Amino acid sequence: MLPASLTRQLAAIVGPDALSEETAPFAVHGRAPALVITPATVEDLARAVAACHAARVPLVPWGGGTRQRWGRPVAAETFVVLRTTGLRSILLHEPDDLTISVEAGMTFAALNAALAAHNQMLPLDPPRPEQSTVGGLLASGADGPRRLAYGTSRDLLIGIRVVEATGRISKAGGMVVKNVSGFDMMKLYLGSLGTLAIIVSANFKLIPRPRAAASLSCFFAQPERAFRLITALSASQLTPAAVEYREDGAAASIEARIEGLPAAVERHVRDVRRMAEEAGAGAVSLAAEGFAEVERRWAGFNDAPQTVDLAADELVARLSCLPGALEAALGDARALAAREGLALRVQARALGGVAYLRLRGGDEALRAWHAAMLARWPHLVVIGAQPALAAELPVWGAALANLDLMRRIKQEFDPENLLNPGRYVV
Ligand SMILES: Cc1cc2nc3c(=O)[nH]c(=O)nc-3n(C[C@H](O)[C@H](O)[C@H](O)COP(=O)(O)OP(=O)(O)OC[C@H]3O[C@@H](n4cnc5c(N)ncnc54)[C@H](O)[C@@H]3O)c2cc1C
């Protein structure tokens, strides 16, 4: 139960309409919050955070809710969900400078639509763009297939504004592309899962929309053949925007997204097709052509990391390894899944070494798979599992480096442990 005085105070700050006791849809790991608030301005949000801080009530920041399964259950009986969807404006767009500042609750679909009018793009392509928010993507350190060509949010973010645990508003970075000297504070918030501060706006550098684009699908009867193509692509001079490897049962496929000047796209399509045929592809087809068509095709492509529709018997893990080790890692994942009688579906950033593994089967088999896999591949993060299983597994992987440092940083930023308590490694 929340103290009645805090509920009254929050209602006075955000307005009664922005406060809801219908909390079931905002349950985190099966536990519903005591209250849900949706501030309409940064100042209201900061005042609400300050009020919760004074009352020592924990807060869970909530964007689109697409990644609330990540991490450990919230270590608090009573907590408030603070939604950022009231903050969804473009604060400043300088098309000539290729920079933009947006509020954290804006979705990627809305942001991309606004940028399309200027022939520009922010090439971060999270799953569920119509739901996924800018703040949520940054806080979870998530990325998409085009990280291959354009980098992750780490590379595209140039400034950030946050509300700290006490309600203080602070900022780091700015609106110019090269502005950091000394310690780059804003990178701290990337991937910290809302445990250090609540992100309220972010500034990015933008990329002009490519003049041409194409997407090529290559199908293989066996994973080994697909990896022949991956090896050939890594050794080549080609620079595709994204190369995704997918495996479901025995069949494997590779989809290459190519963007750039028309002549370069044409050459890539020709070369990738030839290399796929040499690697033993069963079929190769030009799946989409032109930026809008390619964009449509890929909108649902990065679906394996999403955990909104998690089935009752499903576990989703993210594996990171050196790109050259990906084939071996997926081989282990496959063999162990077969041993445990689990169904496995894979989607990997083929040239990067990040893979999303979706497994289905009984809890006992999932536990055994996870333990055996983790013993070989320490950077294995569980990003989706039923609450009881997530609570018992070492979801962040093994042999975490810098744990002490991360604990000290958390202590510095949030000594009362009120922001997403227990959720991340500290
Ligand atoms: C208190 C606290 C403080 C934090 N401070 C910071 C901070 O100061 N700076 C910061 O950036 N983040 C910080 N974080 C966030 C955290 O470190 C990131 O979420 C985490 O590193 C994952 O990063 P990512 O999502 O970018 O991973 P990805 O984009 O998936 O890529 C990085 C991953 O690749 C793997 N990898 C990379 N290189 C290799 C290699 N050579 N061999 C094998 N595997 C490799 C690693 O496993 C790593 O997890 C902090 C978090 C907390 C809670």
Q: What are phi and psi of 35, to 5 degrees?
A: -155, 150
Mean pLDDT calculated for residue range 165-171? 96
Lowest mean pLDDT of 1-5, 61-65, 272-276, 337-341, name the range: 1-5
CB 124 within 8 A of CB 156: yes
Q: How many CB atoms lie within 10 A of CB 300?
A: 11
Which of 71, 108, 83 lies closest to 33, judged by CA? 83
Which of 93, 186, 101, 209 lies closest to 138, judged by CA? 186
How far is Cα 49 from Cα 25, in angstroms, rounded to an integer? 21
Residue 392 is encoded by which pair of tokens? 């018992």
Which of 413, 417, 402, 405 lies closest to 172, judged by CA? 413
The one-letter amino acid at 168: R
DSSP H or E stretch at residue 9: helix 4-14
Atom index in ligand 1 nearest the CA of residue 426 equals 53
Q: Does the pLDDT of residue 373 top 90, yes or no?
A: yes
Q: Percentage of the chain surpassing pLDDT 90?
A: 86
Which residues are near ligand 1 (CB < 6 Å)?
Answer: 141, 143, 152, 187-188, 190-192, 195-196, 320-322, 354, 379, 406, 409-410, 424-426
Q: How many CB atoms lie within 10 A of CB 30?
A: 11
Atom index in ligand 1 nearest the CA of residue 195 equals 53
Residue 169: alpha-carbon gap to chain centroid: 24
Which of 100-114, 295-309, 392-406 has the largest mean confidence? 100-114
Q: What is the 3-state secondary structure (H, E, C) of 102-152?
A: EECCCEHHHHHHHHHCCCEECCCCCCCCCCCEHHHHHHCCCCCCCHHHHCC
Q: Does the pLDDT of residue 58 top 80, yes or no?
A: yes
Which of 18-32, 271-285, 389-403 has the largest mean confidence? 271-285
Average pLDDT, the chain: 94
Q: Percentage of the chain surpassing pLDDT 70?
A: 98
User: What is the pLDDT at residue 138?
Assistant: 96
What is the per-residue pLDDT across 10-57, written as a single tens digit (0 to 9) for each?
999 999 999 998 999 999 988 999 999 999 999 999 999 999 999 999
User: What is the pLDDT at residue 181?
Assistant: 59
User: What is the pLDDT at residue 178?
Assistant: 63
Q: Does the pLDDT of residue 180 top 60, yes or no?
A: no
Pocket probe for ligand 1: among 183, 188, 383, 414, the residue whose CB has the most ligand atoms within 8 Å is: 188
Which residue's C-alpha comes closest to atom 5 of ligand 1?
188
Band the pLDDT of 179: cuts 50, 70, 90.
low
This prediction has a pTM of 0.88
Which residue's C-alpha comes closest to atom 38 of ligand 1?
322
How far is Cα 414 from Cα 400, in angstroms, rounded to an integer? 21
User: What is the pLDDT at residue 142?
Assistant: 86
Q: What is the 8-class DSSP label of residue 210?
A: P
User: What is the pLDDT at residue 203?
Assistant: 96
User: What is the pLDDT at residue 425?
Assistant: 73
User: What is the pLDDT at residue 183?
Assistant: 66
Q: What are the C-alpha distances in Å from 184 to residues 141, 158, 181?
A: 16, 10, 7
Cα within 13 Å of Cα(243), Cβ side: 23
Distance 193 CA to ligand 1 centre (A): 12
